[in-house]
Amino acid sequence: MKINTFKLENYLSQHEFLPQHLLCRSDAESMALRDLLDMADHEDQELWNNLQLGYTTAAGMPILRQLIVQEMYKDLMAHQVLCFSGSEGAGFSALFALCEPEDHVIVLTPCYQALIEIPKFRGCEISQLSLKEENNWCIDIDAIRSMIKSNTKWLIINFPHNPSGQVITPEELKNLIKLLDEHGVWLFSDESSRLLGAPIDGWAEPAAVLYPKAVSLNGMSKAFGLGGLRIGWVACQDPAAINKIKEIKNYTTIGNSTPSELLSVIALKNKDVILEKNNQILSDNLVILDLFFTKNQKLFSWVWPQGGCVGWVHYKGKEDVDLFCKKLLRDTGVLLMPASVYDVNENYFRIGFGHKDMVTAIGKLQQYLEALA
Ligand SMILES: Cc1ncc(COP(=O)(O)O)c(C=O)c1O
């Protein structure tokens, strides 16, 4: 069976490491290894200096899994978390293991392509439910209700939503779970940007804490800005589901990088400091973006993103958004991400605002627009 090209990852790998102004990244500002190690307590410094570079426990170091539940999934236990190489590795293994051919799977779109491609690759029957700008990109529970069939096995969601930055409220998640439970439908919830941002109604709990038939996906890449560690995980209350996912891991990476797991431990112990730093950059950048969009409202509009560090901008210019992005990159080195990368045939692009250098990139974009005018 064929797997489709991952357009988004190809787009990024084509441009990401050239000396350009990346204005579409979905991760928060990163940090130097030295700065992270400076945060380590005495015990972790000793562990780091004497770290044996043999295999780690396949499911993830016990101390890491313990910290993940302590910091993120209050009512879960360490054995209900499995660590992987990135959320990508976690998502692949979980969806590959748990989606069966012929299962009906509902996916909210536009979405990070892996969330739809893996169930497709497994031979599932896919129904896409498009989030709508007129509904502020919010989840529509009635629309989901109308799509559930007798063979519906999974609903796949991603909040904070990549690319719109919309979140699911605690109330919406509660109502969603009630609906899914009535129909025995499982929930796959990509929460990889959770805790980045400041949602008006506060953060919904991770789905895996609230619903025994849920898998929550998260990792160190987005809110912590530590994508280079390549550490992600799934959390799920169901032991049979955890075992099935673990079997796929046995055939892919077995265990993770030992140094990366220990560095993740250090980061999790300093979660509040790191998240405060990253959220401050984000909120400073949002003030600048608000001014930018007010100034250029004839050309752009967006729904204020409540979580994560990307937004989905409606481009109202005459030309196709692909062409706009291409010319912008050619003339200024500023990289946006057009909607075609998400298989969306409308004039939107993704903008990213998690990094300090956004200020320079926005300045270049403004100059470009003024020169055009
Ligand atoms: C929604 C979403 N899920 C998962 C991932 C994978 O992240 P990583 O493997 O870096 O943790 C990404 C990366 O961009 C993403 O945007």
Q: Selecting from 3.40.50.150, 3.40.50.300, 3.90.1150.10, 3.30.230.10, what CATH number does the domain 7-32+272-372 have?
A: 3.90.1150.10
Helical (H) or strand (E) element with 280: helix 271-295
Please, which residues have CB within 8 angstroms of residue 265's CB and are 6 or more apart in sequence? 44, 61, 63, 64, 67
Query: Tell me, what's the pLDDT at 333?
Result: 95
Which atom of ligand 1 lies closest to the CA of 232? 11
- Both ends of the chain: CA-CA distance in Å? 50
Strands annotated E in 76-226: 81-85, 104-109, 125-130, 152-158, 186-190, 214-219
Question: How far is it, in rounded angstroms, from Cα 322 to Cα 181?
Answer: 41
Which atom of ligand 1 lies closest to the CA of 219? 11
Q: How long a stretch of residues is the chain?
A: 373
Instruction: Locate 310 and state its tokens.
Output: 């990307």
The verdict on domain 54-270 having CATH code 3.40.640.10 is yes
Q: How far is the CA of 87 from the centre of ligand 1 (A)?
A: 6
Quote the crossing angle between the two packed helices 86-98 and 114-121, to the nearest 10°. 30
- 234 phi and psi angles, rounded to 5 deg: -120, 150
Which atom of ligand 1 lies closest to the CA of 8? 14
Please, which residues have CB within 8 angstroms of residue 55's CB and are 6 or more apart in sequence? 254, 255, 258
Q: How far is the CA of 308 from the centre of ligand 1 (A)?
A: 11
Question: How far is it, in rounded angstroms, from Cα 266 to Cα 149?
Answer: 45
Query: Tell me, what's the pLDDT at 1?
Result: 72
Question: Which protein residue's CA is at the shortest distance from atom 6 of ligand 1?
Answer: 88
* Helix, strand and coil in the chain, % to nearest 5: 45, 15, 40
Query: Tell me, what's the pLDDT at 17?
Result: 80
Q: How far is the CA of 188 from the centre of ligand 1 (A)?
A: 14
Which atom of ligand 1 lies closest to the CA of 162? 1
Query: Tell me, what's the pLDDT at 55?
Result: 92
Which atom of ligand 1 lies closest to the CA of 227? 10
Instruction: Locate 127 and state its tokens.
Output: 């129904």
**Residue ranges per domain, the chain?**
7-32+272-372, 54-270
pLDDT average per 10 residues of sequence, the chain (373 residues): 90 86 97 98 97 94 98 96 98 98 97 97 97 98 98 98 98 98 98 98 98 98 98 98 96 95 98 98 98 98 98 97 96 97 97 98 98 92
Q: Ligand 1: residues within 6 Å at CB?
A: 26, 86-88, 91, 112, 158, 162, 190, 192, 219, 221, 227, 232
Question: How far is it, in rounded angstroms, from Cα 249 to Cα 58?
Answer: 8
- The angle at the Cα of 10, spanning 5 to 16, to the nearest 5 degrees, equals 170
Q: How far is the CA of 294 from the centre of ligand 1 (A)?
A: 30
Query: Tell me, what's the pLDDT at 18?
Result: 81
Hey, which of 26, 111, 112, 161 would you mutate to test ligand 1's pocket, going by the most ligand atoms within 8 Å of its Cβ? 112
Q: How far is the CA of 192 from the centre of ligand 1 (A)?
A: 6
- The angle at the Cα of 243, spanning 240 to 247, to the nearest 5 degrees, equals 140
Which atom of ligand 1 lies closest to the CA of 220? 11
Query: Tell me, what's the pLDDT at 25?
Result: 97
Query: Tell me, what's the pLDDT at 84?
Result: 97
Buried b / exposed e along 313-349 (16+ C-beta atoms within 10 A)? bbbeeeeebeebbeebbeebbbbbbbbbbbebeebbb
Q: How far is the CA of 163 from the centre of ligand 1 (A)?
A: 11
